[in-house]
Structure 1
Amino acid sequence: MSDRQQFTTTSPACELASNKSVLAESLLAKKCLPCEGGIPRLEPAEIATHLLLVPGWQVSGDNKLISRSWRARNFVSAMEQLNALAELAEAEQHHPDLHLTSYRHIRVDLWTHAIDGLSENDFILAAKINQWLQKQSIT
């Protein structure tokens, strides 16, 4: 194999990373769909796959919700972030539980209330929250 061919070949790890990126982008392209129940919760294997697409999110032990936490600079910044998250959630018509503790510690909990578990909507909103956090340089 020539030196040039070595640099143009992609490894399985690169292909997986590329596929994850494409799949994450597909979540960003979707809108949350209204859910009044009647759809099944995501199964643990589906949750694990979706979780790979939303770095920073953790699934609860009972597989019913996902959460992400971070610390704001100060109280005013935390309130601004919560308000921005509320606007994002309202635009998607999918409403998370937003928590502010110790004046600057933020936690977002997502689950589909109507099915008491996780649906694709939760991961769509998680991806959009991740995108917003990245644009704000919040880790």
Structure 2
Amino acid sequence: MATQTPEPQSPETLTKKKCEPCEGGVDPYTREQSEAQLKNLPGWKLTDDGQRIRKQWTVKDFMAGMDFFNKCAEVAEADGHHPDLHIEGYRNASVELWTHAIGGLSENDFILAAKIDQLPIETKE
């Protein structure tokens, strides 16, 4: 598991890292650490319980959402850290991240969020 740092990291720094396996035994990010890191990841929001981050997009159509989710899946599988993917109303796509083993957020979640932000997505104009 990556060492959690209270200092926010840039998206460029995060995308150069690889998620490390987490089997528990580490503390999740605090709300304050999470909020500080999210300032560097536009559009990502902390869920009300403070244990997950989520970002939403309005995609061009259903197939654009599925294409985006397939790209998310490739990045997630390569890093061994898997998000929850949601599509509602056929064009409202969202990605939710958290580290199941610790019941909260770890550096892995922010790494994957930064990598997802680099993916092309066909949004509604």
Does the 8 A contact of 2:29 with 2:106 survive in 1? yes
Report the CA distance between 1:23 and its aligned residue. Answer: 2.3
Q: 1 CA distance for matches of 2:73 and 2:53?
A: 17
The question of 1:68 aligning with 2:55 is answered yes
Shift of 1:85: 0.8
- The answer to which structure, 1 or 2, has the higher relative contact order (CA under 8 A, 6+ apart) is 2
Q: Which residue of 2 aligns with 1:37?
A: 24
Partner amino acid for 2:17?
Answer: K
Tell me what 2:115 maps to.
128
Matching residue of 2:13: 26
Question: Displacement, 1:64?
Answer: 0.2
CA RMSD of aligned residues (A): 1.8
Instruction: Tell me which stretches of 4 or more aligned residues in structure 1 moved more than 4 Å.
Output: 136-139
Percent identity of equivalent pairs: 46
Q: How many residues align?
A: 117
TM-score normalized with structure 1 length: 0.78
Q: Is the Cα–Cα contact under 8 Å of residues 53 and 127 in structure 1 kept in the other structure?
A: no
Structure 1 residue 107 and structure 2 residue 98: aligned? no
Structure 2: where are the runs of 5+ without partners?
Answer: 1-7
SS of the residue aligned with 1:132? coil
Report the CA distance between 1:65 and its aligned residue: 0.2
Q: Is the helix fraction higher in 1 or 2?
A: 1
TM-score (norm 2): 0.86
Q: How far has the Cα of 1:138 moved from its partner? A: 4.8
Look up the match of 1:14. none
One-letter amino acid of the counterpart of residue 90, structure 1:
E
Q: Distance in 1 between matches of 2:119 and 2:67?
A: 13
